[in-house]
Amino acid sequence: MTDLLVVEGLEAFYGQSQVLFGVSFTIGKGEVLSLLGRNGAGKTTTLKSIMGLVPPRAGRVRFGSTDITGRPAHRIARLRIGYVPEDRVIFPDLTVWENLDVARRPPLPDGREAWTEERVFELFAQLRPMARRLGGTLSGGEQQMLAIARALMGNPDLLLLDEPSEGLAPLVVQTMLEQLLRLKETGLTILLSEQNLTFARRLSDRVCVIVKGEIKYAGSMEELVANETLRRAYLTV
Ligand SMILES: Nc1ncnc2c1ncn2[C@@H]1O[C@H](COP(=O)(O)OP(=O)(O)OP(=O)(O)O)[C@@H](O)[C@H]1O
Ligand SMILES: [Mg+2]
């Protein structure tokens, strides 16, 4: 499998305080990798470092054949990397349709089907009847779906999802899981940050566990789930 994203030895700081210590992993094209870890472990910082929002002080990030380390965030965002931050940024004063429309970017001429509002509504059916409603009036789950949909309108090759299930009711989490599974079937490459093991388990091909800014486990979800010592040591389960 060709690696679409290669992260190598990332070190990141907030001021004087170091939060990532040599974080390395790869994601193959079409693969879903889950980055698991407790609160404050460094999941969000890892995603932000990839996106150039917290520029790494050491290490490298390669996306396809391009070294994107140290590039400014707005330039990285222009590459085919969709980023859905944990605070689900949507425009509250724009309608659902407008939220999607402003996020549209032309697809690459590689023969893949481009994302349109219609295609988004096929995936996130509950957004369709809300097309004319203001983003700010949507429920938490609907806003999360809209945030993911906005990222898709940019026709990404790689999608970074920061804890999409967080704070959502169990029924909504279930719906979102089914939607993300369908998204995975389209061949999209996904880096998922999660604390919800059940959610991540259904979606991921491989997992990494991050503990205090270090990757402590990388491998299959089956092995992690089967190994209670590992789970207890590194995760809140
Ligand atoms: N803007 C910031 N300034 C200073 N320290 C920060 C900042 N953001 C995060 N940190 C610290 O960096 C560490 C890693 O935080 P990060 O947000 O990456 O963790 P996380 O795994 O995403 O946690 P959560 O599950 O709560 O979202 C934590 O110790 C956190 O307190
Ligand atoms: Mg986080």
The torsion region of residue 63 among left (phi > 0), alpha (psi -120 to 50) and beta comes to beta
Residue 134 and residue 128: Cα distance in Å, rounded? Answer: 13
Query: Binning pLDDT at 50, 70 and 90, where does residue 8 land?
Result: very high
The CA 48 to ligand 2 mean position distance, Å, reads 10
Q: What is d(CA 95, CA 90) in angstroms, rounded to the nearest whole number?
A: 10
Query: Which residue, among 6, 28, 18, 3, has the nearest Cα to 56 in the 3D structure?
Result: 18
Domains and CATH numbers, the chain: 1-75+190-237 (3.40.50.300)
Looking at the predicted structure, is the pLDDT value of residue 160 above 80? yes
pLDDT of the residue at 88? 80
Residue 2: per-residue pLDDT: 86
> How many whole angstroms separate alpha carbon 30 and alpha carbon 201?
16
Over residues 165-190, the mean pLDDT reads 95
Ligand number with the minimum distance to the CA of 35: 1
Q: Is the pLDDT of residue 106 over 90?
A: no
Per-chain mean pLDDT for the chain: 94
Q: What is the pLDDT of residues 190-219, one digit of tens each?
A: 999 999 888 999 999 999 999 999 999 999
Q: Does residue 39 line the site of ligand 1, with CB under 6 A?
A: yes
81-114 in b/e burial notation, b at 16+ Cβ within 10 A? bbbbbbebebbeeebbbebbeebbeeeeeeeeee
Pocket test for ligand 1, best of 20, 23, 45 (most atoms within 8 A of CB): 45
| pLDDT confidence band for 70 (50 / 70 / 90) | confident
Which tokens is 120 given?
């988004």
pLDDT of 119:
96
